[in-house]
Amino acid sequence: MAALDATGGHFSAEEVRAMASTSRVPISLATVYNTLKALVEMGELGEVRLARGATRFDTNSAPHGHLACRSCELLIDVDLGELGGVDFAAVGRSVAASHGFEAEGIDVVVRGRCDNCARRQ
């Protein structure tokens, strides 16, 4: 997955399809998506779902948060410890439980603009 490192570790199914389409064998987006989903199920990839845009897959499957740039859609991995040392997974589970809600995952996303985009204005 070396080619995917160029995406900063976060990529959409469409980006993978575009990279794979340079080969002679055409690959459908559905095939790529299903393969990526299977890798997520196996714990090989993470998954980042933002309100806007396509699901992004993540070469970092360990628990971490993201800084999401709204201009260039860059995603930066952050150690959740850097976000105040709060155990977001535990907080999320306990809040969910108080609503009788079965938690399946917690995403910590800090929205804003990256350094590059902020400087361009």
Q: How far is the CB of 99 from Zn ion (least distance, A)?
A: 27
Q: How far is the CB of 116 from Zn ion (least distance, A)?
A: 5
**Does 71 participate in binding Zn ion (rule CB under 5 A)?**
yes
Rounded distance between C-alpha atoms, residue 80 and residue 95, angstroms: 18
Among the listed residues 21, 34, 60, 94, the single contact to Zn ion using CB under 5 A: 60
65 and 76 in contact (C-beta within 8 Å)? no
Between 27 and 89, CB nearer to Zn ion: 89
The candidate with the shortest Cα–Cα distance to 13, out of 43, 42, 49, is 49
Q: How many amino acids of this chain bind Zn ion (CB under 5 A)? A: 9
Tokens 């860059």 sit on residue: 74
Between 99 and 119, CB nearer to Zn ion: 119
Between 19 and 80, CB nearer to Zn ion: 80
The candidate with the shortest Cα–Cα distance to 15, out of 42, 55, 44, 47, is 55
